[in-house]
Structure formats: structure tokens, C-alpha cells
Amino acid sequence: MKVSRDQITGAVIVTLGIFVFAMISTFKVPFTASYPGPKALPGLAAVGFVICGAGIFLEGCKNKDQKTFLIKEGWIKLIINIAAIALYILAMQFIGFFISTPIYLYCLSTWYAKGYVTKPVSRIIFSAAMTLVIFLAYQVAFGYQLPMGIFG
């Protein structure tokens, strides 16, 4: 039996959703309608991961005509992505959200823009705008404090 890329991807996403459920179940803050607490957003994401991952997995079961998944170059890109996320998380703890996020988003959009002609100015605007949107969502809408690093 040949396992398709969609089956692997779907299974990983479902596993990630279950992992998030397990992690938020350790939170001691009660989940109420008046104050959903820190469980609400990760719990919603976990439900989405499980549902979407199951859908991707089932689509992979139907469609068997797929190319080979993650050849050597694909594994290298995957490792670089994971390392970039880990570096971003560490940077956010030390230099804060407002410095690390635009830099991370700029680097990420530059790396994924390969093959497309984009101006650095448009990537800078994108990075700054997304940083502002993320800040507004977390700080203002949800009331969560973002890491300020050495400046906080």
C-alpha cells in the first residue's frame, strides 16, 4: 500500500490537533461563556486542525496519483522551516514581538517568493501590516500580552 502526500499531511495535522487538545487540557483556568480564558483560541485551532486534517487525509485516500513526497530538497525545506520557527520563537523572547515578527515575516515572504518578482518594499509593507494585525488581534481583541523582550 502506497501512502500519499495528502495522507501523511492529514495524519500529521490531525495528530497536531490532538496534541493541542492534550496540552490545553492541562490548563487550570476554567472555560466559561463569560471568560473563555486561554483555552478558547488554541481549542478552536485544534478543532480546525482535526477537521481539516481528516478531510485532507480522506482526499488522499481517494486520489492515489500523486508525485513523490518530500524528496531531498523537500526535507531540507521542511527542516529550514522548523528551524526558522524555533529561531523566531527564541528571538521573540529576547528582542520582543515588534522587532522579531516583521523580520521573520519579511524573511519568510522573501523565501517563499522565489520564482516571483516582488519588490522589497511590498514585502516590508506586508510584514509591517501583518505585525500590526497580529498585535491588534492578540493585544486588543483577545487581551493577551505579547512578548516585549528586552524592551518590556
Residue 31 above 70 pLDDT? Answer: no
Q: How far is Cα 85 from Cα 103, in angstroms, rounded to an integer?
A: 12
Confidence of residue 13 (pLDDT cuts 50, 70, 90): very high
As a whole number, the mean pLDDT across the chain is 84
The pTM (predicted TM-score) of the whole model is 0.59
Q: How far is Cα 48 from Cα 99, in angstroms, rounded to an integer?
A: 30
